[in-house]
Amino acid sequence: MKCPACEHEETRVLDSRLSEHDNTVRRRRECGNCDFRFSTREETEILNLSIVKRDGSNEAYSREKLASGLTRALEKRPITTQEFRTLVAGIERDIYVLNKSEIKASQIGDIVMQHLKKLDKVAYIRFASVYREFKDVHTFYEEINKLVGKKSKKSKKHKSYAKHTNKRKKSNTAKRAGKAAKKVR
């Protein structure tokens, strides 16, 4: 690593730190010539992965392309830079563990959807509408219903639980009322 100040070839690594959020390594370095201290960041890269597109053509994997697709889906959503980096790293990890030199674009799309679904439902719907090419409003609603459907089931459970406890409360007060009535007699 060349010193950025004097271009001396020898720099010393003072310490290195691995960030677990985004799989980057930061190294603090010192120049052996002018004592300038600076730090470098190393990013992991998925090498030699090619994407098979829908039309059958191949394309080298690019983090920039993935990131720009995600940026579009997450536009104006409350996501921090750190969360975004973690998202990209998580998607890349899931691609990496497949251990393939060639992967279908649709497979990457599925991985992205899984991650977005957990992170931000709005971004998920946006991404799905582009990626799955929703043909009409109907498919769009179907997808939203799938998301919302799960939630309403949960709240129904909640309601029935509430009803149940209410009933118990009522029967308890009824019993107490009965006892009280007996005492009076």
- List residues binding Zn ion (CB under 5 A): 3, 5-6, 8, 31, 33-34, 36
Q: In the complex, what is the shortest distance from the CB of residue 27 to Zn ion, in angstroms, rounded to a whole number? A: 16
Nearer to Zn ion, 12 or 163 (CB): 12
Nearer to Zn ion, 3 or 123 (CB): 3
From residue 88, alpha-carbon distances to 19, 37, 82, 124, 169 in Å are 14, 30, 10, 14, 51
Q: In the complex, what is the shortest distance from the CB of residue 25 to Zn ion, in angstroms, rounded to a whole number? A: 22
Nearer to Zn ion, 39 or 166 (CB): 39
Residue 130 has which token pair?
């582009």
Specify the amino acid at residue 174.
A
3-state helix, strand, coil in the chain (%, to 5): 55, 20, 30
Q: In the complex, what is the shortest distance from the CB of residue 14 to Zn ion, in angstroms, rounded to a whole number? A: 14
Q: In the complex, what is the shortest distance from the CB of residue 31 to Zn ion, in angstroms, rounded to a whole number? A: 3
Nearer to Zn ion, 35 or 59 (CB): 35
Residue 98 has which token pair?
């497949």
Query: Residue 116: which of 134, 94, 101 has the closest Cα?
Result: 94
What is the rounded CA–CA span in Å between residue 146 and residue 1?
A: 52
